[in-house]
Amino acid sequence: MGKADLHIHTARGDGMADLPELLDHVQQNTDLTVIAVTEHDDLRPGLEAREMCARGSYRFEVVPGAEVTTLEGHLLALYLEEPIESLRPLAETLEAVHRQGGLCIIPHPMSWLTRSIGQRKIERILGDGRDGVYFDGIEVADLSAGARVSIGKARRLNEERYHLATVGGSDAHFLAVVGSAYTLFEGQAAEDLRRAILARTTQGVDGRHPSLIEIGLRQVARQQVRGFLVTPRKMGWRRTVASFVRRFLPT
């Protein structure tokens, strides 16, 4: 079985480690066979990480992706080759990802601690029926603070109603957190993982999340500031604020 962490951030966004540090850490300190670099609203770090990994002597593979900010919440878009426009309606974003053969995963579902896709919107998309407007998977393993408040509910609803592929991702912003939640899949390579998600045979697994003391309180404080500023820094304050307003307008 392969192990994949499908939700990792770096210093190119609001994480604390740059790409070479991340790749070396995964190689030396984990048994992951696939990772996805999913920077906020920016595909370039994921593409660069895949290229660096291919040039090096690493035993794992990189899936390029992005955590795209939609009007209804964050969406993990994986296996991308072209950027996806942010701050657009969720249905349009799903269509755009699927048009280029990417996969769409719901990260930290239904969480009120971070910008997440809520239950009502998930169920509206599941009943939409239009080409390209669907989810491929849902995070059911993620020990980050933003996910813990709601992931049990998401896991239960997926088992009872949604029946999406189950995945795990650490939402790591620190090296010590990488691999703390992961996806088990049959095979070892990135393409094996893609096939497993589409076949809905994956399994999201929680491992061990390091404590705040282990990570370092100063590091955590610095990261919180970076996290607050990451979307305005990339998309501009005016567009970011307008997107929050649009999110809560009646539809």
pLDDT tens digits for 215-236?
A: 777 877 776 776 666 777 667 7
Neighbours of 226 (CB within 10 A): 16
pLDDT digits (tens, 9 = 90+) for 38-81: 999 999 999 999 999 999 989 999 999 999 999 999 999 999 99
pLDDT digits (tens, 9 = 90+) for 179-212: 999 999 999 999 999 999 999 999 999 998 887 7
Owning domain of residue 50: 2-247
Residue 238 has pLDDT above 80, yes or no: no
Q: For the chain, how big is the Rg over CA atoms in Å?
A: 17
Range 121-127 average pLDDT:
96
* Tally of domains within the chain: 1
| Distance (Å, whole) CA 111 – CA 208 | 20
pLDDT digits (tens, 9 = 90+) for 130-152: 999 999 999 999 988 888 889 99
pLDDT at residue number 249: 63
pLDDT at residue number 248: 66
Q: What pTM value is reported for the model? A: 0.89
Range 90-110 average pLDDT:
97
Residue 3 has phi, psi (to 5 degrees) of -125, 130
User: 29: phi > 0 → left, psi -120 to 50 → alpha, else beta; which?
Assistant: alpha
In the chain, the percentage of residues whose pLDDT exceeds 90 is: 75
pLDDT at residue number 250: 57
Average pLDDT, the chain: 91
Instruction: Report the candidate in 80, 86, 76 with the shortest Cα–Cα distance to residue 99.
Output: 80
| Distance (Å, whole) CA 55 – CA 53 | 5
Which CATH number covers residue 163?
3.20.20.140
pLDDT bin (cut points 50, 70, 90) of residue 129 is confident
Tokens 């703390």 sit at which residue? 180
